[in-house]
Amino acid sequence: MIDEALGILRRNNYKVTKQRQSMLEYLSNFQHHFIEVTQVDAYLRQLYPGVSHNTIYRNIEDFTRMGILEAINRPTGKCVKYQCDFQNHHHHFICKKCGRVQEIAVCPFDEQVKQQLAGCTIESHVFEIYGICAQCNARLKKETERS
């Protein structure tokens, strides 16, 4: 599961250390949910008590820049998830109730937006939709019917 991420590290001339491998193995459990960076930090510091917060956060930034992780900012802080699709550009629907993430295969970033930004160099973009997923809506409906 992490072979592709390890290949990306090697192609970017990063050593595959046991700490980086442990971080990737842990994060690979979070392809469909974002996790707070502080949770990643706590987990790794439990495994490797001598590793610094700076090292962990720097690796998270590097992994995000290389496309191994996806990041969002929430009011509680930065959250990351393991890249669910290394091959295709995509966006997400994020459930505000359970945190489940669904991939959106189409990109709403169209030519009209590019025309509005004529002369600009677009380096990247993020498109996220927030709401309540089908499973949570079904649960809420059952709870309401019982009341």
CA distance 44 to 65: 20
pLDDT score of 55: 94
With b for 16 or more beta-carbon neighbours within 10 A and e for fewer, the 35-56 pattern comes to bebeebbebbeeebeebeeebb
Place of tokens 């001598």: 50
125 is in an annotated binding site: yes
Question: Which CATH class name applies to 91-146?
Answer: alpha beta
Task: Give ranges for CATH 1.10.10.10 in the chain.
Answer: 3-82
CA dist 36 → 9, 42, 143 (Å): 22, 10, 29
90 marked as binding residue: no
The secondary structure element, H or E, covering residue 72 is strand 69-74
pLDDT tens string 80-105? 988 866 556 667 787 888 878 887 77
The predicted structure's pLDDT at residue 87: 58
DSSP summary character for residue 69: E
**In this structure, which amino acid lies at residue 14?**
Y
Domain ranges in the chain with CATH number 3.30.1490.190: 91-146
Residue 95, annotated ligand binder?
yes
pTM over the 0.75 mark: no
Is 84 annotated in a binding site? The answer is no
89 assigned ligand-binding residue = yes
The reply to whether 120 sits in an annotated binding site is: no
Class of domain 3-82: mainly alpha
Which of 60, 67, 64 lies closest to 86, judged by CA? 67
**What is the pLDDT at residue 88?**
63
